[in-house]
Amino acid sequence: MKALFFKEIRSFLNSLVGYISIVVFLVTTGLFLWLFEMKTNVLNGGEASLKGLFYLAPYVFMFLIPAITMRSFSEEHKNGTMEMLLTKPITDLGIILAKYAAGVVLVILALLPTLIYYYAVIQLGEVKGNIDHAATWGGYIGLLLLGMTFVAIGIFASSITKNQIIAFLVAVLLSFVVYIGFQYMADNFIAPWDMFFIKLSVQEHYLSMQKGVIDSRDVVYYLSAIAVFILSTKISLQSRFW
């Protein structure tokens, strides 16, 4: 499993995919946070906060993470190396977790440079350091968990098709549904269905963590969602025997 994990990391870093994804994420968030005259602009927000980053990042992740993960299993199928991979002394779950962990590492590498934004906001405040640190770190934790969920979705989408474009589109669609779709239904359904969809909404749990209080229910929700998609990927791989 460790060997496959490092192979996946090298695969990302030896190609342009990993670097382009990180650069696109940083450039996009940077432009909207510091240059574009929009509500997400830190300088025009009237408060020392990274709310703009936490608002923008999920939408950027919704496209970038599927672009990263679409190769995970689709490329193995396309190149005919899937059967060879499955004969190695590693379980299906081990293969999935190795590819999943590599995707998560790339998400972390994309988030780490944004700590510069955090430092900049601390320094630019009317009173230096006048920022809600708890809310900021809660937002970062929520964003990391959200990225991890999108990686699990992307891995699953890649396991069900040999076509990378289809894998990308399926992952984008599923990410859109879990982040926006359930929230939309929660806003438009009447009780008790509204509460049902609120509990399913990734966005609801993500916004909750931005308040600076890490509720165990939110963490359990994310871990459960990740487990569901990883299990679904395992079932997808095992279906080759059916």
Q: For 81-130, how does the pLDDT look when each residue is reduced to its tens digit (9 = 90+)?
A: 666 776 677 788 888 999 999 999 999 999 999 999 998 888 876 667 67
Upstream peptide bond of 58 is cis (omega within 30 degrees of 0) = no
Q: Which stretches within 160-215 are classed as H helix? A: 164-176, 182-188, 193-200, 202-209
Residue 131: pLDDT band (50, 70, 90) is: confident
- Supply angle C-alpha 87, 100, 33, rounded to 5: 155
Q: Tell which wins on pLDDT, 73 or 78.
A: 73
Residue appearing with tokens 């679409």: 70
Amino acid letter, residue 51: K
In the chain, the percentage of residues whose pLDDT exceeds 70 is 90
Q: Report the C-alpha gap between 145 and 198 in whole angstroms.
A: 18
Q: Report the C-alpha gap between 28 and 45 in whole angstroms.
A: 18
Q: Are 21 and 68 in contact (CB under 8 A)?
A: yes
Q: Report the C-alpha gap between 217 and 151 in whole angstroms.
A: 21
Amino acid letter, residue 168: F
Amino acid letter, residue 36: F
Q: Report the C-alpha gap between 200 and 194 in whole angstroms.
A: 10
3-state secondary structure of 28: helix
Q: Tell which wins on pLDDT, 21 or 85.
A: 21
pLDDT of residue 80: 67
Residue 205 in this model has a pLDDT that exceeds 90 = no
Element (H, E) at 35: none
pTM given for the model = 0.90
